[in-house]
Structure 1
Amino acid sequence: MFKAKELFLLLLILGTLSGKAQRIPEKGMPLLQNFTPAEYQNKGKIWAIGSAPNGIIYMAADKGLLEYDGKTWKCFKGSEGFTRSLAVINDSLIYTGSDLDFGVWHRNKYHDFEYTSLYSFKEELAPLNEEFWHVYRLSGNIFFISAHNLYVYKDNRITKIAAPNRITGSFTANDSLYFTDKKKGLLVLSNLLLKPVCEFPEEDAIEIVGAYQHNGNTVFVTKNSGLYTILAGKFSPVRNQLSQDLKAAKVFSFEQINKTYPAFGTVLKGLFISNTEGKLIHNINKYKGLPNNTILSLYYSPSGKLWAGMDYGVSSLDINSNLTFFYDYRGDFGTGYTALLKENTFYLGTNQGLYLSGWEDLNNNTAFHHFTLLPGSEGQVWALKNIAGTVFIAHDNGLFLLKDNKLERLGNQSGIWTVIPYKNYLLAGSYNGISIFKKSNNGWEYLREMELILGSCNQLIIDSDSVLWVNIPNYGIIKAVLNDTLYPVERQIFRERSFEGSDLYLQYHNNQIQAVTDKYRYAYSHEVNQFANKSPIDNNELPPSILLPGIHEPVLLTPDAEFLPIYNGFALKFSGAPKVGNSDNDQLIFRAITAHGYGNESRLYAGALVPFRYGNIKIDCIVPNKEGVLYQYMLDDNDNWSNWSVNNTIELISPNSGGHVLSARAMVKGKVTKTETIAFRVATPHYRSWYAFVLYLIVFAALTGLAVLWQKRLMKKQERQLLMKQQQTLREQAEIHQQQLMLLEQERLQAEYEQLKKQLKSKTIELTNKAKENDDKNKLLLTLKEKCEAARLNPAITKTALSDMQKLLESFLTIEDKTFEIQMDELHQEFFRKLNDLYPNLSSNDLRLCAYLKIGLNSKEIAEILNILPSSVYISRSRLRKKLNVHTDDDLYHYLNSI
């Protein structure tokens, strides 16, 4: 037993000596990030936490195994009972213990975990209802601990070691595993045997959750009894305030930070962090931002973050960061805009007033911080300045100075943004200009307002002896040259719109005036008298969306501490605080590969064949649990890297078929990680695959055969069609010939008809003339005969008879003329009827003229028939054209024959 004690103490002492002593800031809260159960899919309480070498965090939760890479939560279902403990070997191999089961998780090719139970005693030990609250990996062995048994897993074999009585706790120290037994006390595992180290006092029921070293002594952390150590071979309580506080708070979990700062998760009072001497460094609870005061699990990751699993939610604290925070969750002081440290008194200007606190009172070792409001300072405090040992307060109500912790107002002006000294004056930027104060024997007195500068002057900076720089929000920057009477004799205005970005403010940095926005920093050049040099702002050092924007700048409190204004509180930045975590060890890993397209999506794995139909590939990569990381990628080693981006998802749109290698790297705090690659292959589309080409060949041969067959059939068909076409052509030619013959015959008949018509016309005229002449002759001869007979019988009337015969001849001529007209009218009755229907205004003479014209008589012939002059016929024809509406260019003969 003595050798076991010596071995135990030697191992713990060596572990302590090997730890690096690093100091963590003591004032303020470490940067806290909270996760609600809704964010990790409401998987219940977090009982244990661990991390893989690449930085991925794993947690044992009620409903399975949780995984968090800094951006995405994943949950994997294992055994039926609550998962209580875990041992993370790497991001592909994890062992867990749960209610009535323990087992191993392996990651499959899709980057998901699959659980395999290793507990083969379920039926045999069913009455025990074993719960496995601890899992350890030591010397290549995996240990699963329950209250009744210890199970050792090695080489796919399980060895069971029974507890002497009942195991109430376990912990590791320098590759040794220790147990607390209800009756046997402290035990150590050696060669698969539980050997006693020290017995517990009979009056105390000690449950040890961890141990750490102090000055060569081992300090044991118990759940309900505070701190213990071994003195003279016996357990003895530690007599200090920390032990009493832990006893009252009820410790549930324990972790060491850099083997220098013990961290205690309590049931009642949140998280305690102390040094090994027993001095409380941090008291972090619900007042200071924790979601819950019951800390069920603690884990300190190599990246410098302390993870806490609680009864409600999970939190991470950047415990080694040089930034600490004071959030006003209780409504004690508001939002800090400015601060000042004088004679160990911390002055805090907020939106509620001026608050005071001792510098040492800002240490984070109490449940909450105490700030005292200075009477009369209620309202917005914009700036605090220590000028020649006097504290000046720029306030919404005016300018004040602090004397014996009492406020004394200077002048009657209200709304003072800032105040600066200038020779024997004070220049106070107000809501509407610049107020000038002059020092006299009675103190400071208001002098006047500065001319030519109006507006809300929220920043004033003196450059050289006589140059004043003024910032006016929403307007711009004014550079003014002052004379001895503080009159701006020269002014130059730089409008705000000429600066890219928002929240423009002035800064005197590196002995030059700079204009700063949320995007760029502009340096003023005296050579060109402009803000010429432009450089991007580097915001990686500070957490995003925390600092107040614009003019609310950091304030140097001590050579090592700087005040930062933030929303709902304030922050401190310590220059001497350690930076834990080496960015050279940061590793980029690929998390998932997904193919998608046309509304479909398919998960893939490295080296997988991507179906061509999906078209697009999405690859997720990340540097686990690192902030401010930039990513860059390149496809197929073409030396064409993408631009740096905060987006850790790589989208490849329609990559070509065939094998591809994607290279990716990250930049963490200005350092580029090692390039990682992932291979995949895009399937050749079906229409370009080998079987497609075989099919194409078969189809081509079939089509060729069909084409030949079709060509033959086509030739025969064409021959038949040609023959039919020839026959059709002959028939058409015969028909055309027949038609031509018929046309010729018709033309011949038409010519004969026209000739006969002309002959008929001629004969008709001739016949008419002959008939008339014959009739005239007959009648004349008859009359003359009668007259001669009468004269013969009566010679006395010879003269009278001759006169009568003369008259008779004239009368017969007139009668015969009318007879001809009557005959012409009878011959053309149908023609006259049509003309009367079409042209009712035609006279009888017009009708007869139409008849003469219709049969083809010219004007001379018509004049002879009518015994009139040809000119009269011409006039009658012209009148007839007008009545018939026949144009002079139209042939009257053809028109009349068309009726």
Structure 2
Amino acid sequence: MLQNYTPAQYQNKGKVWEMGSAPNGIVYFAADGGLIEYDGNTWNSFKGSNGFTRSVIVVNDSLIYTGSDLDFGIWKRNDYRAFEYISLYPFREDAFEISEEFWQIHQLQDAILFVSSRNIYVYRNEQLVKIAAPSSFSGSFKVNELVYFADESQGLFVFEDFSLKRVIDFPEQFNARITGIYQHEKGWVIVTRDLGLYLFADRALSPLNSELSDELKAAKVFSFEQIDENHYAFGTVLKGLYITDTKGKIIHSINRQKGLPSNTILSLHYSPAGKLWLGMDYGISVLNLKNNFTTFNDYRGDFGTGYTAILINNTFYLGTNQGLYRSGWDELNNNREIFRFQLIPDTEGQVWTLENINNTVLMGHDRGLFIVRENTIEKISNHDGVWAIVPYKDYLLTGNYNGISLFQKNGNRWTFLKKMDLILGSCNQLVIEKENILWVNIPNFGIIRAVLDQDMNPVERLIFPVDIFDGKDAFILKNELGIHVFTDRYQYTFNDKENEFIRAKESKVFSEVEGQLAGVYLPTALNSDYEFFPVYNGFALKFLSTDTETRSAELSLTLRRIEAFSNHESALLYPGQKVPYQLNNFRIECIVPNHNGVLYQYRLNENGEWSEWGQNNIFEFLNLKHGEYHLFVKALKDDVIIEKPAVIFRVATPWYYRWYAYIMYFLVLALLIFIIYSWQKISLKKQKKQMLLREQNSLRQQTEKHKQTLSQLEQKRLQAEYNQLKQQLKSKTIELANKARDNEEKNRLLLALKEKCEKAQQNPELFDIKWGEMQRILDSYLKIEDKTFEIQMDELHQEFFKKLKENFPDLSNNDLRLCAYLKIGLNSKEIAEILNIQPSSFYISRSRLRKKLNLKTEEDLYSFLNEV
């Protein structure tokens, strides 16, 4: 299984010169741009020195040594798991004058060796010891805990007891750059860059005559790595990667035509996880040697994306989006530089399925159903789009773009019988559960369970809509446990008693191979040893007999980071650290480094519930309360569960729960009580003042009201007195008038009689005459109109009469007197008696008066006269 990474993915750090793995599986790369770290999920880069980083030794993921141009040093993680670089090179300030490049680093039990072409720097107990090269080192190699140094002119040396001891003297004609050394049954094999392989045996160095040596000589070996006791890897300049066994047989040959981004392999590293890492001048690749997969990517556009395959009579048939291809099974051997496929004529187009029915290959194609006969095809049906082919009794069922077709075999030929009723739509999967029970998968609609009668008609149907399955790309699987449905998230099992699907508590649904086609959860069995997997732009084969126990034992669950954050800031933490309460959101990342298909499960604290298994390895916890938390994490890979000790982190008590906060609360409470007391006191005083003001206002209002009442009473009293006086005035006026008239009449009568008596006394002769005159006087007095009262009335109402005369000149004296009588309130009867007239005559006189005064009917005469 080959996986490529472009420079853009690891931040364009240039060529990769050396690699190393930490015990937990994290891989580190020495590149032009610095140190690179990759855990299978995230790339990180670090810059320590100014020059290109050339070499790396990884003790663990917290202690790393690197060598570069003009420098070498040590990387250590701090408490926050961030790397810090410390230079160990003693001549760093004068490096440009010395100009050393450190291309190799080797780790011994008690020392680290930093190697340049001129010197070896031995770092031990925080001390450096410098050992000069005999002439110039061209390479160094660690074999069986010993480090060997190749000197350009002096031969091969071994480092022992802090000194160099010569092992091999190079012959004069030996002018080669050594790239690797490994032990052989006959001696040592020396791997050279340009001259192939040499054998050192019986203290003699000679060329190793073999096909492998010739192949490597032509390919130009640049890097070498021993995979295990039986396998070796050679990285070349021209032809990519070769993996061989101890006998020199090429097992794998991988180059650009097989998927490598470059044929120049600058560095090789075999990790304990079973992955071979390739550092190149452009890109990084990794080949998983223990996952049983071989991937065939169509980088040249030869065959396309594989959807289905079948192996029959040692011929491999491959159905792709471009057509049907065939190849000899032996042609797929990994030691071949190129895989060759032959397109079967007239099969261009989408091939959906291939089935072996009684040693006859049937092909479901976009154009219909076909029989494949070696390099030719024969069409059976014109029904477009055959997704699935299933034999049932003497029939053949095909799931088409629209419905299900039924075929029956007549002799050696399949003939179309009919279309199945009641089931329409794109039927991309057909599964026979048992006698007369057919399952049909219709994407974007659902899954149908149909009971068939003897005429192959569905008489009963159960429809399970696609919405009841959480996830995408539902797929039906039948095994010894029954009928199951897989989605990209969960696994469901059919309960035939309740006629319903039940979701499994722990659903392990993930792709076994990188780039696997969506909706494909199970491989196609080719034979007892191999399975076929459809992959985008290619396909993959899985070899079934590789032991997985070693691989599972190497798994390590690693804490990558603890991050506390809020909306405005974030901070990295070390385990057990306490953070301020405002950073009470946490993001914790754990990973099984550089392993695919790992599921994770977690719970927070002992009393928490375990989450469901999932591929997410970053766990977030939001708005946590203060206190200590323990995060428990599990990882599941190949049915092996790895647990990690609890990750502890703490949230500080918020300031409002601390002792000084309680003192502040007490002071605030006391102040609040004081303020409330003072406020109540002031409020009470204010209320009293307001009550006093209200009482004063009430008293003032009552006084005003009382004054108004008294004034009203006084006015009423005065009005009553006025009315009384008016009435009295009226009475007195009448009385006065009567008395005045009586007195006047009496006085005149008496005076007249006195005069007559005096005359009669003076002249008795005239007594009779005077007596007669006195009788006549008395008679005339009774007839004389008494004007006295009118005169007095005129004098009493002189101003009133004057105003009336000014406004109404046409008024007579009688009219004026009538107005005076009306004004003083005499009623009609009283006025009639005074005037010695009938009441009816009074009414006539009053009507005439209204006309002279120009009064309208609705105007009151009395009111008018009182306003004059």
The alpha-carbon distance between structure 1 residues 797 and 373, as it changes in their structure 2 partners (threshold 3 A), is farther
- Can you list the C-alpha shifts for 1:174-218, whole angstroms capped at 9, x where unaligned? 111111111222221122222222233432322222233444543
Distance (Å, rounded) in 2 between the aligned partners of 1:719 and 1:481: 90
Q: Which residue of 1 aligns with 2:254?
A: 284
Q: Which residue of 2 aligns with 1:554?
A: 523
Distance (Å, rounded) in 2 between the aligned partners of 1:449 and 1:155: 83
Structure 2 matches for 1:69-108, cutoff 5 A? 69-108=39-78
- For structure 1, which segment, 90-99 or 820-829, has the greater mean C-alpha deviation from structure 2 after superposition? 820-829
Identify the match of residue 663 of structure 1 among 622, 631, 639: 631
Distance (Å, rounded) in 1 between the aligned partners of 2:458 and 2:697: 112
Distance (Å, rounded) in 2 between the aligned partners of 1:367 and 1:896: 142
Identify the match of residue 179 of structure 2 among 209, 231, 246: 209
Structure 1 position 138, deviation (Å): 0.9
Distance (Å, rounded) in 2 between the aligned partners of 1:291 and 1:184: 38
1:622 to 2:591 alignment: yes
The alpha-carbon distance between structure 1 residues 608 and 556, as it changes in their structure 2 partners (threshold 3 A), is closer
Structure number with bigger Rg: 2
- Can you list the C-alpha shifts for 1:714-747, whole angstroms capped at 9, x where unaligned? 99x9999999999999999999999899889968
Distance (Å, rounded) in 2 between the aligned partners of 1:860 and 1:256: 156
Secondary structure of 2:214's counterpart equals: helix
Distance (Å, rounded) in 1 between the aligned partners of 2:559 and 2:867: 101
1:34 to 2:4 alignment: yes
- Name the % identity: 44
Identify the match of residue 135 of structure 1 among 76, 83, 105: 105
Distance (Å, rounded) in 1 between the aligned partners of 2:116 and 2:384: 70
Distance (Å, rounded) in 2 between the aligned partners of 1:544 and 1:595: 33
1:674 to 2:648 alignment: no
Distance (Å, rounded) in 2 between the aligned partners of 1:735 and 1:498: 84
Q: Which residue of 2 aligns with 1:359?
A: 329
Secondary structure of 2:290's counterpart equals: coil
- For structure 1, which segment, 206-215 or 335-344, has the greater mean C-alpha deviation from structure 2 after superposition? 206-215
Distance (Å, rounded) in 2 between the aligned partners of 1:347 and 1:515: 28
CA contact (8 A) 1:49 1:60 kept: yes
1:399 to 2:399 alignment: no
Q: Which residue of 1 aligns with 2:387?
A: 417
Q: Which residue of 2 aligns with 1:196?
A: 166
- Structure-2-length-normalised TM-score: 0.81
Q: Which residue of 1 aligns with 2:243?
A: 273
Secondary structure of 2:725's counterpart equals: helix
Secondary structure of 1:243's counterpart equals: helix
Structure 1 position 706, deviation (Å): 11
Identify the match of residue 253 of structure 1 among 223, 238, 248: 223
1:596 to 2:565 alignment: yes
Select the structure with the greater relative contact order (CA < 8 A; seq sep ≥ 6). 1
- For structure 1, which segment, 47-56 or 424-433, has the greater mean C-alpha deviation from structure 2 after superposition? 424-433
1:664 corresponds to which letter in structure 2? F
Q: Which residue of 2 aligns with 1:574?
A: 543
Structure 1 position 143, deviation (Å): 0.6
The alpha-carbon distance between structure 1 residues 674 and 505, as it changes in their structure 2 partners (threshold 3 A), is closer
Identify the match of residue 118 of structure 1 among 79, 88, 112: 88
Q: Which residue of 1 aligns with 2:800?
A: 826
The alpha-carbon distance between structure 1 residues 850 and 422, as it changes in their structure 2 partners (threshold 3 A), is farther
- Structure-1-length-normalised TM-score: 0.79
1:307 to 2:277 alignment: yes
1:181 to 2:151 alignment: yes
Q: Which residue of 2 aligns with 1:18?
A: none
Identify the match of residue 532 of structure 2 among 560, 563, 570: 563
CA contact (8 A) 1:200 1:234 kept: no
The alpha-carbon distance between structure 1 residues 862 and 580, as it changes in their structure 2 partners (threshold 3 A), is farther
Distance (Å, rounded) in 2 between the aligned partners of 1:196 and 1:674: 49
Q: Which residue of 2 aligns with 1:223?
A: 193
CA contact (8 A) 2:18 2:279 kept: yes
Distance (Å, rounded) in 2 between the aligned partners of 1:388 and 1:205: 64
- For structure 1, which segment, 348-357 or 85-94, has the greater mean C-alpha deviation from structure 2 after superposition? 85-94
Distance (Å, rounded) in 1 between the aligned partners of 2:368 and 2:614: 47
Distance (Å, rounded) in 1 between the aligned partners of 2:3 and 2:826: 126
Secondary structure of 2:635's counterpart equals: strand
The alpha-carbon distance between structure 1 residues 532 and 897, as it changes in their structure 2 partners (threshold 3 A), is farther
CA RMSD in angstroms comes to: 5.1
The alpha-carbon distance between structure 1 residues 864 and 477, as it changes in their structure 2 partners (threshold 3 A), is farther
2:732 corresponds to which letter in structure 1? L
CA contact (8 A) 1:787 1:801 kept: no
Structure 1 position 806, deviation (Å): 7.4
2:729 corresponds to which letter in structure 1? T
The alpha-carbon distance between structure 1 residues 863 and 812, as it changes in their structure 2 partners (threshold 3 A), is closer
Secondary structure of 1:558's counterpart equals: coil
CA contact (8 A) 2:71 2:95 kept: no
Unaligned runs of at least 5 residues, structure 2: 757-767, 809-814, 848-854
1:591 corresponds to which letter in structure 2? R
Secondary structure of 1:203's counterpart equals: coil
1:770 to 2:735 alignment: yes
Secondary structure of 2:800's counterpart equals: helix
CA contact (8 A) 2:150 2:156 kept: yes
- Can you list the C-alpha shifts for 1:767-819, whole angstroms capped at 9, x where unaligned? 332344346547777998999999999979999996x877766x979x96996
Q: Which residue of 2 aligns with 1:236?
A: 206
1:457 to 2:427 alignment: yes
Structure 1 position 228, deviation (Å): 2.1
The alpha-carbon distance between structure 1 residues 743 and 211, as it changes in their structure 2 partners (threshold 3 A), is same
1:319 corresponds to which letter in structure 2? L
CA contact (8 A) 1:518 1:537 kept: no
Secondary structure of 1:675's counterpart equals: strand
1:666 corresponds to which letter in structure 2? K
Distance (Å, rounded) in 2 between the aligned partners of 1:719 and 1:339: 97
- For structure 1, which segment, 793-802 or 511-520, has the greater mean C-alpha deviation from structure 2 after superposition? 793-802
CA contact (8 A) 2:420 2:456 kept: yes
Structure 1 position 94, deviation (Å): 1.4
2:148 corresponds to which letter in structure 1? Y
CA contact (8 A) 1:629 1:666 kept: no
The alpha-carbon distance between structure 1 residues 527 and 883, as it changes in their structure 2 partners (threshold 3 A), is same
Distance (Å, rounded) in 2 between the aligned partners of 1:131 and 1:812: 161
Distance (Å, rounded) in 1 between the aligned partners of 2:279 and 2:447: 50
Identify the match of residue 340 of structure 1 among 299, 310, 314: 310
Distance (Å, rounded) in 1 between the aligned partners of 2:232 and 2:332: 21
- For structure 1, which segment, 216-225 or 54-63, has the greater mean C-alpha deviation from structure 2 after superposition? 216-225
Q: Which residue of 2 aligns with 1:167?
A: 137
- Can you list the C-alpha shifts for 1:482-520, whole angstroms capped at 9, x where unaligned? 455x34161314143364143234333227444443344
- Can you list the C-alpha shifts for 1:535-567, whole angstroms capped at 9, x where unaligned? 3642246147623426x9532101121112222
Distance (Å, rounded) in 2 between the aligned partners of 1:861 and 1:274: 159
Q: Which residue of 1 aligns with 2:360?
A: 390
Q: Which residue of 2 aligns with 1:488?
A: 457
CA contact (8 A) 1:564 1:572 kept: yes
Structure 2 matches for 1:466-485, cutoff 5 A? 466-484=436-454
1:241 corresponds to which letter in structure 2? E
Distance (Å, rounded) in 1 between the aligned partners of 2:701 and 2:419: 117
Q: Which residue of 2 aligns with 1:14?
A: none
Q: Which residue of 1 aligns with 2:725?
A: 760
- Can you list the C-alpha shifts for 1:607-633, whole angstroms capped at 9, x where unaligned? 444234444444443333333444455
2:478 corresponds to which letter in structure 1? Y
